[in-house]
Amino acid sequence: MDNCGFVLDSGASDHLINDESLYTDSVEVVPPLKIAVAKQGKFIYATKRGIVRLRNDHEITLEDVLFCKEAAGNLMSVKRLQEAGMSIEFDKSGVTISKNGLMVVKNSENQLADIFTKPLPAARFVELRDKLGLLQDDQSNAE
């Protein structure tokens, strides 16, 4: 998939998509995985798990990406990127994601990453995170 938009989320436990056509491979999650959202007592459900390949000048493979049709957008988990051996560096100009010393994402001056992420100002990030209704890392997947 070329240039699909993701919000890079430092609090997300998992990568999350709301468009299952992004998958290159997936399996059903049975029973669906219950995901707690920010609104007390509310949940959304992941019904698939799979692989998403994003590319432009470089390719990055996201594994164990959850599909939830109720999600308001696509989230890329900083935690999962780091577990996959990627380095994420935030600075005043945005974010850089690299693997094995090779840069795979660098945001541009207009706040769009050259590959697929959209680094955002803190206020916009919080606004989108609230719209997605997701909790911080230690509260996700709670019953």
Element (H, E) at 88: strand 86-91
Distance CA 63, CA 81 (A): 10
Please identify which of the residues 9, 19, 137, 138 carries the catalytic annotation.
9
Give yes or no: 9 in active site: yes
Beta bridge partners of 124: none
DSSP 8-66: EETT-SS-EES-GGGEEEEEEEEEEEEEEBSSTT-EEEEEEEEEEEEESSSEEEEEEEE
* Cα separations in angstroms, 82 against 14, 18, 41, 76, 88: 12, 22, 30, 11, 7
Residues forming the active site: 9
